Structure 1
Amino acid sequence: MAVAPGEFRFEVAGHLRENFIGGQWCPAQSGQRRTDLNPADLSDVIGEFAESGGADVDLAVDSARRALDGWRDLGPIKRAAYLTEALRILGERSEELAYAITREQGKLLKEARGEVQRACAVLEFTTGQARRLGGVTAPAEEPRTFAYTFRRPIGVVGLVSPWNFPLAIPMWKVAPALLAGCTAVLKPSPLTPLTSALLVDVFRAAGVPDGVLNLIQGDAAAGEALVANPAVAGISFTGSLPIGTAIHTGGAHRLLRTQLELGGKNAVLVCDDADLDKAVDAVVHGAFGQAGQRCSATSRAVVDVRVRDEFLERLVARVAGLRVGPGFDPASELCPVVNTDRLDAALAAIAGAQNDGGKVLCGGKREERPDLPEGCYVQPTVVRDVPWDSDLAQEEVFGPVLAVVDADGFDDAMRIANSVKYGMSGTIFTASQSRAFEALDRFEAGMLHVNRPGVGAYAHLPHIGAKASQYGPPECSPEVFDFYTEWRSACISY
């Protein structure tokens, strides 16, 4: 379905602008609201959404606490029936959700549709785990004794999600939390309130009991109140390292359980024997897909000096030809960044790299054309001669900016790849099987790839980082239930 620029306008139902507490849509206690804008066209006001505070959070947590016993006692198989119905409804509403994502977050419509499919896959996988949430039987040390283990939900959980995947990431928190028997308060990014409201409405339509899933819209005040509430047993957070650290330390005094998926500064290693065309394809996809706004985005190309010039010639020819534009324009190949703050941050990172000796080979500026509305458009940018220890090679940009760092052989490339504090994703392009397996062993990163784009993982594989990119169990895998449940052991004499 082709959509011309400016053709589509998603009319936001009034209730979707509110919080969802105890099965009811309701405004923030303060009556305050926040404006949600389309990053592709800043004149397009999507709506005014609730701006919540501590009083709203306390109501939502209390609602989740009161619903906990009944939801837990259903057991995972009956809970999965609600998730199965949610999956059916999600499929029916997939186009509505994709359009909302593109208008609100800015990504290309095909990328938004891909995100909806990822959310469906996560929900489908999670539902299938209902009959696997068991424990083990164990030998007893005494006669006539039966010993076994089982899981119990940890209780009320706070789910704090980001704006870059406003449907998929909340889904891979909500779905396992509910299946495990927890009740939840979802606090999404204030930059993408509509998509999260639509997600919660899917579960409401699926008949999930009142209070099991609650939605609180808002910014830092709401998040801080969620961390501080003593009835919240755990916080699952995806976002920046500073905020994740604050959540962890803020709850440490009461032993709050945390699951933190944080930043990344991901490297693709291009060895001297790499298939350069495949490497270029992967880097273009990884660095400029979704305007580089992924925790697993390719933000560094660590290239062997023996093939650097040929690699850059092919890469720059591709990147310079990418068309920047609104996500609803079928001709667009690179979407806007999410807001003016991210635009300014990307341009500042480019300027800083030039001060450190980097050379901009293409892009480097705000994209401005007569056919573009006023929006948050950054040209896709490739910077070469980036020192391995400079800011652009060490710090997350979260924009369409690629640092190209020279490496003198495989060992030097591995050293550079592991030189950052983050460890989300690592990728290598090489024809050597031995070198590929050695890289997999030596990468200090959680999600690893060989001769393919280095972004993300499958819905059933752990979405996991290393070092400062992750704290606690992974998401998107059976291991996710190690966060939402705790183990019990039982011994029965007979």
Structure 2
Amino acid sequence: MAAHLRLNFIDGKWVPAESGQTRENVNPADFSDVIGEFAESGGVDIDHAVDAAAVALPAWRQLGPIRRGTHLTEASRILGERAEEVAAAITREQGKLLSEARGEVSRARAILDFTAGQARLLGGVTAPAEEERTFAYTFRKPIGVVGLVSPWNFPLAIPMWKVAPALLSGCTAVLKPSPLTPLTSALLVEVLQQAGVPDGVVNLVQGDVAAGEALVANPAVAGISFTGSLPVGTAIHAGGARRLLRTQLELGGKNALIVCDDADIGRAVDAVLHGAFGQAGQRCSATSRAVVDTRVRDEFLDRLVARVSDLRVGPGNDPASEICPVVNTARLEAALTAVTRAQRDGGKVLCGGGREIREDLPEGCYVQPTVIRDVPWDSELAQEEVFGPVLAVVDADGFDQAMTIANSVKYGMSGTIFTASQSRAFEAIDRFEAGMLHVNRPGVGAYAHLPHVGSKASQYGPPECSPEVWDFYTEWHSACISH
């Protein structure tokens, strides 16, 4: 790893934090593998980055969306050339399987390609005028400097679906990634630099809470796009409210997969395996609840537990691994605590439930994939996000009760149903209080050109990965010209 990737990237230069402080980045699959000491930044570093972005803003806006889009197209090409390098970095610092990391790189490229294709569509409309010899039209302007705060679970794709539209819209940006995945973010910025994005247009500031709070508080920042937990998102929104800071918040999920009495049980089990245990359950759209009709519950559980019990937990770079580690010890302890509390509330652990320890495993953050049955619909495990490989199985007496249980949580990220009934499927789509809906398929993942959006406490502001994202990064104007 090149030494400069451990630094901040401000105004086209790789620089250390002003304080000189650093934070250790460790491989969650092997605690003996120290990836490096990365900059631990504060308010002064954020201010330098925001100043650089403000200076770069006029020229970048003047460039126009079509020419700005060429930089995104070039970035996609370069990312393709460096795909294996970037995927390996994702696996090493985030922990996910190398196959999952490669998929994330492909999704990031798809986001760049989709966003670049919007360049010729980013316009307004002409409108009838009430007066003679008058021309009336609408157009968009970038809102200015934006702060982009991204999480660790998709350390390339999520920053990319913020950075790409920010740049195409004409905004300049300060990216503040999770301190758990600094290397991937540095590689992203390096790719953009190689693609010819001018100095100051994209700035990277590594760090934790101090850097994030300073970004939200800086008066020159016109908007904050954040992906992460509900408490932090709420704090960002409240912190910027006094100055009417524009916010775009993608928050948590407690997603249900409904298994009806007429479901294809084999397909439903496959979908739960992918949705609940892929990436060790560390996705906002992860299937964390299976709401199962009691008529098919026993068959479903027998087939599911047999499959889950055979899953091999291991390092992401081991081709034999099927479940990766969680990202750090805090997530490991959170998963184990969730299991203990579920048992307190009457849940019965059918498989897993503890830390995965084997002689062939290095010391790391390995959690056994866990299935818990008899989980009360209103218990903590059925209501609160775990962000780990722990599945709650909740009984339902028929379709109506299953829908009621699915909608009983404060979140509304994803909703899934397995049924042979077309009418029931469309009724579920109408009744789900969730943003991303699936029928007879896994409840995670979406195309790069479909909105990544939630409802209720899962989302605030325009959705990402969609044309609607321009309503965050730009503002509308109207003009009337008489002659």
Shorter-normalised TM range: over 0.9
Aligned partner of 1:51 among 23, 40, 54: 40
The equivalent of 2:53 in structure 1 is: 64
- 1:318 partner letter: R
1:406-429 deviation line (CA, Å, top 9, x unaligned)? 000000000000000000000000
Aligned partner of 1:22 among 11, 17, 24: 11
The equivalent of 1:484 in structure 2 is: 473
Does residue 218 of the first structure (1) align with residue 192 of the second (2)? no
- 1:289 partner letter: G
- 2:167 partner letter: L
Residue correspondence of structure 1 range 440-451 to structure 2 within 5 A: 440-451=429-440
Distance 1:337 1:158 in 2: 27
Residue correspondence of structure 1 range 363-382 to structure 2 within 5 A: 363-382=352-371
Distance 2:445 2:222 in 1: 28
User: Residue 391 of structure 1: CA displacement?
Assistant: 0.3
- 2:6 partner letter: R
1:348-402 deviation line (CA, Å, top 9, x unaligned)? 0000000000000000000000000000000000000000000000000000000
Distance 1:206 1:242 in 2: 36
Residue correspondence of structure 1 range 106-255 to structure 2 within 5 A: 106-255=95-244
CA RMSD of aligned residues (A): 0.4
Residue correspondence of structure 1 range 398-477 to structure 2 within 5 A: 398-477=387-466
Distance 1:159 1:166 in 2: 12
- SS of alignment partner, residue 349 of structure 2: strand
User: Residue 142 of structure 1: CA displacement?
Assistant: 1.4
- 2:120 partner letter: R
- 1:173 partner letter: K
- SS of alignment partner, residue 448 of structure 1: strand
Distance 1:271 1:151 in 2: 47
Distance 1:414 1:141 in 2: 51
Does residue 326 of the first structure (1) align with residue 315 of the second (2)? yes
Is the Cα contact below 8 Å between 1:463 and 1:476 reproduced in 2?
A: yes
- SS of alignment partner, residue 370 of structure 1: coil
Distance 1:450 1:308 in 2: 19
Distance 1:342 1:124 in 2: 34
Is the Cα contact below 8 Å between 1:107 and 1:335 reproduced in 2?
A: yes
Task: Give unmatched runs, 5+ long, in structure 2.
Answer: none
Distance 2:348 2:411 in 1: 25
Figure out how many residues of one structure are paired with residues of the other and give that number: 483
- SS of alignment partner, residue 31 of structure 2: strand
The equivalent of 1:88 in structure 2 is: 77
Aligned partner of 2:253 among 257, 264, 269: 264
- 2:469 partner letter: V
Distance 1:291 1:336 in 2: 7
The equivalent of 1:4 in structure 2 is: none
The equivalent of 1:362 in structure 2 is: 351
Distance 2:81 2:477 in 1: 39
- 2:370 partner letter: T
Residue correspondence of structure 1 range 265-344 to structure 2 within 5 A: 265-344=254-333
- SS of alignment partner, residue 315 of structure 2: coil
- 2:251 partner letter: L
Residue correspondence of structure 1 range 100-111 to structure 2 within 5 A: 100-111=89-100
The equivalent of 1:8 in structure 2 is: none
Distance 1:326 1:482 in 2: 41
Distance 2:68 2:461 in 1: 25
- 2:37 partner letter: E
- 1:325 partner letter: G
Distance 2:354 2:24 in 1: 27
Is the Cα contact below 8 Å between 1:151 and 1:487 reproduced in 2?
A: yes
Distance 1:400 1:427 in 2: 18
Q: TM-score, normalised by structure 2?
A: 1.00
Aligned partner of 1:76 among 65, 72, 94: 65
Does residue 345 of the first structure (1) align with residue 334 of the second (2)? yes
Distance 2:148 2:401 in 1: 40
The equivalent of 1:396 in structure 2 is: 385
- SS of alignment partner, residue 72 of structure 2: helix
Structure 1 segments (4+ residues) deviating >4 Å: none
1:116-143 deviation line (CA, Å, top 9, x unaligned)? 0000000000000000001111111112
- 1:406 partner letter: D
Is the Cα contact below 8 Å between 1:447 and 1:456 reproduced in 2?
A: no
1:280-328 deviation line (CA, Å, top 9, x unaligned)? 0000000000000000000000000000000000000100000000001
- SS of alignment partner, residue 41 of structure 1: coil
- 1:50 partner letter: A
Q: TM-score, normalised by structure 1?
A: 0.98
Is the Cα contact below 8 Å between 1:267 and 1:426 reproduced in 2?
A: yes
Is the Cα contact below 8 Å between 1:264 and 1:296 reproduced in 2?
A: yes
The equivalent of 1:7 in structure 2 is: none
Is the Cα contact below 8 Å between 1:323 and 1:333 reproduced in 2?
A: yes
Distance 1:188 1:123 in 2: 18
User: Residue 456 of structure 1: CA displacement?
Assistant: 2.5
Distance 2:330 2:207 in 1: 18
Distance 1:210 1:324 in 2: 43
- SS of alignment partner, residue 194 of structure 1: helix
- 1:365 partner letter: G
Distance 1:455 1:88 in 2: 27
Distance 1:43 1:477 in 2: 41
Distance 2:454 2:439 in 1: 17
Distance 2:440 2:368 in 1: 27
Is the Cα contact below 8 Å between 1:299 and 1:403 reproduced in 2?
A: yes
- SS of alignment partner, residue 349 of structure 1: helix
